[in-house]
């Protein structure tokens, strides 16, 4: 069973249906699957249309084993048919326990850290100036918000006559202030293995590649090494992922697809195997490798390295990446 809370985009629904069907195809023919949508932001009519599309794509024998159920105000309705009594019991149980573990309502977006991260990502990648309008559209804010951020960043900022903006140096003081905010600047959710036989970060990465998620970017040590080859990822102990949540809701369903044995931990002292970092701005700035993976931008990777206390690697990313890009140009 998969639980999605507050679904806003049908592309997430399509991905879930296809993923569940693929998992059913690999299971015993007697197994079934259910997709529970709790208070979705999509109408039942549109959900029915999406199911009709799935009927044209998926094999009939798989569709017979797949159920989609919508919960609105606690009332369950199946599409295209209501679930059988046994499935209904499971769904009601999931209603009590699933949403809290499957989805998180996120705090209000603080735009200043996002503006700083966009500018820093461009500085690290030596991508040059960005217009204020582009910055507004990337973050999802208005010009007055950008103007306030510019005032705070002025000691590190180059302002051009055509309103283009760029960092002229690494904004050490401003970045330290973001780090001091911790999870007030960026929500992070950690997961630990409870099976006693944990998968390696590379095994989780291989599963992620198979999912083809456009809303997830690889960060942390692996992402930093992707951007800066001088960084050695051989010591990787966890997989860091940036997950794009512009609507303010974090769907944790991806965790079960990567490894059902992972459980959320609220103790930062416990070594996490998987860490999800929430990315709230309008555009994620992920880079695709063409093989099913997307990579978080250098600023997100740098924040991951600080969060994991990998300070030598963080310094190497700050100093090595811009120098390498300048040498290449």
Q: Which structure tokens are listed for 241? A: 């992922």
Residue 176 CA to residue 267 CA, distance in Å, equals 23
Q: Quick one: pLDDT at residue 329?
A: 47
Q: Quick one: pLDDT at residue 181?
A: 87
Instruction: Give the Cα-Cα-Cα angle 304, 307, 310 (nearest 5 degrees).
Output: 80
Q: Quick one: pLDDT at residue 99?
A: 41
Q: Give the pLDDT of the chain (329 residues) as one tens digit per residue.
A: 777 766 777 877 887 888 888 878 877 788 888 888 877 888 999 999 999 999 999 999 988 889 899 988 778 899 988 888 877 877 776 665 444 344 566 777 889 999 999 999 999 998 999 999 999 999 999 999 999 999 999 999 999 888 899 999 999 999 999 999 887 788 898 999 888 889 999 999 999 999 989 999 999 999 999 999 999 999 899 999 999 999 887 888 888 889 988 888 878 788 999 999 999 999 999 999 888 899 999 999 999 999 999 999 999 999 988 665 555 54
- Find out whether the peptide bond into 80 is cis, omega within 30 degrees of 0: yes
Q: Quick one: pLDDT at residue 5?
A: 65
Q: Are strands 239-244 and 188-193 parallel, antiparallel or unpaired?
A: unpaired
252: CB partners within 8 A, 6+ apart: 101, 102, 103, 104, 189, 264, 276
Residue 180 CA to residue 182 CA, distance in Å, equals 5
pTM: 0.70
For 50-54, which contacts have Cβ atoms below 8 Å and span 24 or more sequence positions?
A: 50/10, 50/13, 50/14, 50/17, 51/79, 51/80, 53/14, 54/14, 54/17, 54/18, 54/21
Q: 155-182 pLDDT, tens per residue?
A: 999 998 888 999 999 999 999 999 998 8
Q: For helices 111-124 and 172-181, what crossing angle results, to 10°?
A: 130
245: CB partners within 8 A, 6+ apart: 106, 215, 251, 278, 279, 280
Q: Quick one: pLDDT at residue 327?
A: 54
Closest CA to 119 of 105, 131, 110: 131
Q: Quick one: pLDDT at residue 203?
A: 95
Q: Quick one: pLDDT at residue 93?
A: 67
Domain boundaries, the chain: 2-105, 111-182, 183-328
Closest CA to 121 of 266, 49, 224: 224
Q: Name the DSSP letter for residue 310.
A: -
Is 111-182 in CATH node 1.10.10.10?
yes
Do 183-328 and 111-182 have the same topology in CATH?
no
What's the CATH number for 183-328? 3.30.460
């Amino acid at each position: 069973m998969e639980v999605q809370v507050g679904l806003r985009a049908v592309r997430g629904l399509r991905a879930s249906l296809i993923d569940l069907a693929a998992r059913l195809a690999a299971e015993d023919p007697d197994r079934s699957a259910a997709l529970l949508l709790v208070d979705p932001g999509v109408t039942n009519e549109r959900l029915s249309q999406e199911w009709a599309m799935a009927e044209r794509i998926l094999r009939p024998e798989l569709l017979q084993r797949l159920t989609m159920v919508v919960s609105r105000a606690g009332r369950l309705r199946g599409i295209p048919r209501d679930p059988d009594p046994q499935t209904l019991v499971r769904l009601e149980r999931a209603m009590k326990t699933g949403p809290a573990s499957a989805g998180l309502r996120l705090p209000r977006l603080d735009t200043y850290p996002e503006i700083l991260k966009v500018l820093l990502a461009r500085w690290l990648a030596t991508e040059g100036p960005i217009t204020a309008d582009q910055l507004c559209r990337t973050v999802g804010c208005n010009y007055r918000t950008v103007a306030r951020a510019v005032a705070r960043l002025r000691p590190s900022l180059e302002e051009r006559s055509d309103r283009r903006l760029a960092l002229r140096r690494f904004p050490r003081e401003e970045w330290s202030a973001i780090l001091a905010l911790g999870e007030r600047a960026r929500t992070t959710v950690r997961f630990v293995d409870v099976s006693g036989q944990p998968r390696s970060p590379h095994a989780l990465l291989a599963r992620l590649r198979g999912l083809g998620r456009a809303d997830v970017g690889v960060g942390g040590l692996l992402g930093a090494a992707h951007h800066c080859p001088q960084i050695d990822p051989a010591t990787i102990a966890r997989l860091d992922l940036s997950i794009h949540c512009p609507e303010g809701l974090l769907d944790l369903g991806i965790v079960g697809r990567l490894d059902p044995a992972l459980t959320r931990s609220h103790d930062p002292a416990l070594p996490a195997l998987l860490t999800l970092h929430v990315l709230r701005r309008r555009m994620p700035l992920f880079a695709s490798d063409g093989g099913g993976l997307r990579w978080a931008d250098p600023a997100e990777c740098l924040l991951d390295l600080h969060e994991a206390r990998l300070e030598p690697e963080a310094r190497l990313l700050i100093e090595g990446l811009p120098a390498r890009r300048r040498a290449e140009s």
